[in-house]
Amino acid sequence: MINPPASFTALEKAIGIHFHNKDILVQSLTHRSAVRGKRVQGHNERLEFLGDAVLELVTTTYLFQFEEKSEGELTNWRAALVRGEQLATVASELKLGDYLFMSKGEEVSGGRTKISTLANALEALIGAIFLDQGYDSANGFCTEFILVQLQDLLKQGKDRDEKSLFQEKSQELLNTTPHYEVVDEHGPDHNKQFTCALYLGDEKIATGKGNSKQRAEQAAAKSGLEKKKWK
C-alpha cells in the first residue's frame, strides 16, 4: 500500500471541515487496491455508495427551487452536476488524488488521476462528511464545491446529456429511436457494476460501463456519439 504524499491537515483546511473521526476520513480515501487480499473491508466503496445518495438528495433539493423549470430540464441539470467527469474535475481541484491510499501497481498505472477513481473518492468523501458531521455539513460541502458549478456547466451546454443528444441525432438523421439493454452486471449489491449496450434497431452501436444503469447508459451513448461522429 502506498501512503498519500499529502497531509490530511491540508485537505481538511482546503474543504473547511475538521473530522472528529479520522479513521472515516482515511477510509473514504482508501482505494480497493490498498486492501486487496486482506481480510478487511477498509476501502471506500461503501462510503461512495452512501455519498452518491447524499449528493443526489442535496442536488435534487437545491434544484427544486427553480420552479419555472420542467422536471426534464432539472433532471438534465442534475445529471450535469453529478456526472463522473464533473465530479473528477472537482476532485482534481481539491487535489484529492494526492491523498489516496492505493497499491503500488494502481499508482503506477495512473490511479491518482483516473476519472472514475477521483469521482468515486469525492462521493466517498461526501459520505464520510455525512457520517462524521451530519447532513448540514455534507450539504454545505456539496454546495460550495459542486453546486456552485451549475451556471458554468449551463453556459458550456453540459446540461445536454449524451443520451439526449444521441436520441435527438438518431431521430433527426435516421428517424430511429435508440434503446439500451443491460448485457452484464456483477459485484456486491452496494457496488454493482453494469454494462449497457446501445442499439439502433438490431444494430449494436456501442457499450458503456458504470456503477448504475443510468451511468452505464450515459457511457454507451457517449461512445455512440463518438463512433457516429455526431459530437
Asked if the 8-155 domain carries CATH number 3.20.80.10, the reply is: no
pLDDT exceeds 80 at position 31: yes
The CATH number given to 162-228 is 3.30.160.20
**Where does CATH 1.10.1520.10 sit in the chain?**
8-155
Say whether 17 sits in a helix, a strand or coil: coil
| Structure confidence at residue 89 as a pLDDT band (50, 70, 90) | very high
- Spell out the residues 6+ positions from residue 24 whose beta carbon is closer than 8 angstroms to its own: 47, 128, 131, 132
Cell of 150: 451549475
User: What pLDDT is recorded for position 165?
Assistant: 85
Region 31-55: what's the mean pLDDT?
Answer: 84
Res. 190: pLDDT tops 90:
no
Cα angle value 32/84/128 (rounded, 5°): 50
pLDDT of residue 212: 85
Outline which parts of the chain fall under CATH 3.30.160.20. Answer: 162-228
pLDDT band at residue 152 using 50, 70 and 90 as cut-offs: very high
What pTM was estimated for this model as a whole? 0.74
Catalytic residues: 52, 123
* CA angle in degrees (0–180, nearest 5) for 215-49-106: 80
Name the residue type at position 2: I
Contacts of 36 (CB under 8 A, 6+ apart): 103
Least confident stretch, 38-42, 104-108, 127-131, 195-199? 38-42
C-alpha cell at 175: 428517424
Q: What are the strands of the beta sheet with 193-200, ordered from one edge?
A: 179-186, 193-200, 203-210
**Radius of gyration of the chain, Cα coordinates, nearest whole angstrom:** 19
Tell me what pLDDT residue 95 has: 94
Residues 6+ apart with CB under 8 A from 122: 51, 87, 88, 90, 91, 94, 96
Q: What is the helix (H) or strand (E) element at residue 206, kind and residue range? A: strand 203-210
Query: Would you say residue 1 has pLDDT above 60?
Result: no
Q: What CA–CA distance (Å, rounded) separates 81 from 87? A: 8
Is a pLDDT exceeding 90 seen at residue 6?
no
